[in-house]
Chain A
């Protein structure tokens, strides 16, 4: 009966709403679970990651368009497809790329109840909303959009490359509650941010006015903040390869720093049922070095140039109307570079889940370890999200996690999120003696044809995980 209820909940929630790194969440024998939730319940006593290989994560996504939407080989003109895509995408659609590589990772049990873990990883995160109106203006022009304002607040993007040093502590308060926290020191390598932009451009028909139209830029205010960029740009003979090499050379000690925390808990409501939640990267970056910020702002209206038919003597030049216009533009629509420090919030990630276990077992190889019985089948649901400039992205994932034996477990998951309504994922984790390897692939249907996928993500890693007495 309980299994039936769990399955009912499983499939009910499967049809409701989904995102993140859910395939590693709550996997109690993987140290990566502690990076997702520092208060996770864990099942190991020491771990040591193979440097640079203990976790490699890549995730890409696009909510509104796939490669096939643009490049489909169907004989139609690609420009018609691009125009169709631009018209269908909205300013709420977004593109995201997230990459993480664990540089070092280690941890060990401290006392009877504690577990200390620490390490460093490099992360790149790019997130951009589709600049719908500016894209329409650039690709189609204003002719089909008379009287309709183009909004510059559609321009919203962030990008950062940083190294994260972290140390966390996981503590079992009692048999039910486990809590944990992680302190993070961010070392910023590169950052670009342009959010909270404002302003419109509109071409209005003006019946009875001085001319056919009035072109107006109203309340333009676009700010692009960068750190770690100016020095790259100013470098002579800089190429993409050189820039990438320079960024890598900054990996360990970037020029800007930040601090943040992860917090989480796991609570066993009953022996079989548990709830847990965590936040990651509640933190801020202080950009103080290698700063270059650009601001474009102002308002201006024009209906064209007005010749005044001055009385001129022979050889005398007329009024330089164009120069006057340019001067007015310079006065009213300004751009400026500033070099002041700025702060950015890290994209806060949050996860919350419920989990129900069935198939109680004390595995033979573990019977000497004083720990609670395990459940071989775990059914769970994770609500996850990431804070972004225009609000959180979110998703729900349901999973069946099967511990085949103490050396192998797998998880199959189904999720819904802003990218896809059919997000199937598979995770497998295998342990040979103390050597662990895991591989998680989300949106597995998408892998059959990446051109047609709205998102794809992959995590893999190898490490030593010890389950000592």
Chain B
């Protein structure tokens, strides 16, 4: 074979060899079935900052020991929560300078207004100089996760216990949720 015919055949052969032997090695594309997206979403829920006015009737000015409100949390009904929620970690923090203990109820309600789960505790009394802090973490996971998925409203109830002293003070509330999703 002359060099003039050898080179063309060699190069063409080499290129064809490369092209036809090219392949995907050491990979397993069936792993696509195992791909999971697992975002951890950390989000504020509700907050409030109350003072004595919030415990007085706006018409009569009389003291009201119990106040309550309800907040819809529509996102708990969204598909990404319904389909993907595996873990929820709630953090609730009260900072109390009222000179009373305060009973706090946080009731997560479903669409039929039934309680799915709750976080209830007594907030210790504080003062002008020493603010009483109670910081609570509530974790819902495993088979209990449906309690969160079924919830749609957060009902908040506060009761000032033994309000015989001055009504001066503040009650501050902060809350957030860490939602771990898996798709």
Contact = CB atoms under 8 A, between A and B. Distances in A.
B71 A322 contact: yes
A203 interface: yes
A321 B71 contact: yes
Interface string B164-175: 000000000011
B128 interface: no
B158 to A, nearest CB: 8
Contacts of B38: 79, 139-140
Contacts of B72: 320-322
A142 B41 contact: yes
Interface in B11-42: 11-12, 14-15, 18-19, 21-29, 31-32, 34-42
B61 interface: no
Contacts of A448: 18, 21-22
Interface string B147-183: 0000000001010000000000000001110100100
Given A79-B38, A309-B54, A310-B69, A304 B46 contact: yes
A146 B156 CA distance: 27
A143 B22 contact: no
Nearest to A440: B15
Nearest to A325: B74
Interface string B60-94: 00000001111111100000000000000001010
B58 interface: yes
Interface centre among A77, A143, A302 (most CB of B within 10 A): A143
Nearest to B41: A141
A441 interface: yes
A280 B99 CA distance: 79
A282 B172 CA distance: 63
Contacts, number: 173
Interface string A145-178: 0100000000000000000000000000000000
B119 to A, nearest CB: 15
A306 B175 CA distance: 11
Interface residues of B, number: 58
A71 B54 CA distance: 59
Given A137-B39, A304-B45, A306-B47, A428 B27 contact: no
Given A140-B40, A310-B69, A426-B14, A304 B47 contact: yes
A258 to B, nearest CB: 34
B122 interface: no
B23 A450 contact: yes
A71 B31 contact: yes
A302 B27 contact: no
B143 interface: no
A139 B14 CA distance: 43
A468 to B, nearest CB: 23
Given A306-B46, A306-B48, A449-B23, 19 more contacts: A72-B28, A82-B35, A137-B39, A139-B39, A142-B39, A146-B42, A210-B47, A212-B175, A213-B176, A304-B45, A304-B46, A309-B48, A309-B50, A309-B68, A310-B69, A408-B11, A426-B14, A447-B19, A451-B25
Interface of B: 3-4, 7-8, 11-12, 14-15, 18-19, 21-29, 31-32, 34-50, 54, 57-58, 67-74, 91, 93, 156, 158, 174-176, 178, 181
Q: Closest 3 interchain pairs by CB? A: A141-B39, A304-B44, A143-B40
Interface of A: 67-68, 71-74, 77-79, 82, 137-144, 146, 203, 210-215, 302-311, 318-322, 326, 404-405, 407-408, 410, 426, 428, 430, 439, 441, 444, 447-452, 458
